[in-house]
Amino acid sequence: MISRLRKRLSLSQTSFGHEVHSSAMGVSRWERGAQEPPSHSYIELGNLAGDPDCWFFWGRAGLRSEDLMRVLPKLRDRFPQPNLHNFQLVHAGTTTLKPEKTQLVAIPLLKIVAATNGEKGDNMPILHEAPVESMIAAPKEWCPNPGSTYSLRVRGNSMNPLIYDDYILVVDSSQVDRAKLDGKIIIAWHKDVGLTVSRFRRYDHTEVLHAENREYGSVTLDRKNNWKIIAKVLWWIGRAP
């Protein structure tokens, strides 16, 4: 099935591996049956395959069609003529788009937590290596880079009143250029603190991570403390009180 997908996309094993964060050797082992892809790779294979083959790969990752379909009623409310046939699953880098349909992106919900200031997050600096808890779906317009889009939970309250404890953040790991992130909410990582969600600010030659709640302190970034920005926060999901 993996070999068939790669050939359908006319990709070499190296190029195909790049799409799913694996090496050419890893792809070769998958195709020969010598090794099974990890769950996060099955998610990415499903995104590449598109409907209907995506369900095979997502099923191998332990995800069911119900995980995706249960979000559709919320999406139907946004359109005047609700009809399941007007939805289409798309994958990253697709060149065959159908503008008359609402295109959905499957976003892995990672089993990791980003903390706000004063809390400690999970020590996972590479998002695509994190285990997958479940999956959510969103319109493609909300995900400019589907292949680099993930979601994860928040711990702590220092980003109140914008982001609360246990909210779900949707992030883009391809947007890490600090020159373009001033004023944006980002995910950063430090080996002693783990994943952190903060607002990133640049002041002349100084870079700072700010809490939204000013009762909490800020963190100044410099070469000595080895902070790494790993993603830009695109949007978030929270429960109504």
Nearest to 11 by CA among 89, 105, 92: 92
**What kind and span of H or E run contains 114?**
strand 102-115
What backbone torsions phi and psi does residue 40 show, to the nearest 5 degrees?
Answer: -65, -30
Please write the tens of the pLDDT for every residue from 109-136.
999 999 998 889 999 888 888 888 888 8
Which pTM does this prediction carry? 0.61
pLDDT band at 18 (very low <50, low <70, confident <90, very high): confident
Q: Is 16 within 8 Å of 27 (Cβ atoms)?
A: yes
Domains and their CATH numbers in the chain = 38-237 (2.10.109.10)
Pick 88 or 60 by higher pLDDT.
60
Q: Is 136 within 8 Å of 107 (Cβ atoms)?
A: yes
- Beta partners for residue 138, in sequence order: 105
Structure tokens at 53: 């083959």
The pLDDT assigned to 182 comes to: 93
| Rounded distance between C-alpha atoms, residue 171 and residue 143, angstroms | 9
What Rg value do the Cα atoms of the chain yield, rounded? 19
